[in-house]
Amino acid sequence: YGGDEFAVLLTQTTRPQAETTMGRFRDWTDVSVSYGVSEFPSDGDDASTLLAAADRALYQSKRGGV
């Protein structure tokens, strides 16, 4: 997505499923990974709004040390 950030689009996936998937990715990598999840349509109904919601969730995760 930009710098050391990227976006992953998971279709037909619930928020808990997305969080599980991203947790598995974090466990699989040898680097520290923080992630933010947004969900259509509860967090937005267009790409820009969904990315902004995921970005807010990412920085909340980083502040929490996740």
The whole-number pLDDT of residue 64 equals 83
At 11-62, the pLDDT tens digits run 999 999 999 998 898 888 877 788 899 999 999 999 999 999 999 999 998 8
Nearest to 36 by CA among 45, 11, 46, 26: 26
Domain ranges of the chain: 15-63
pLDDT level of residue 66 (50, 70, 90 thresholds): low
Contact 38, 57 (CB under 8 A): yes
Distance CA 42, CA 62 (A): 22
Are 44 and 38 in contact by the 8 Å Cβ rule? The answer is yes
29 vs 4, more confident: 29
CB within 8 Å of 48: residues ≥ 6 apart: none
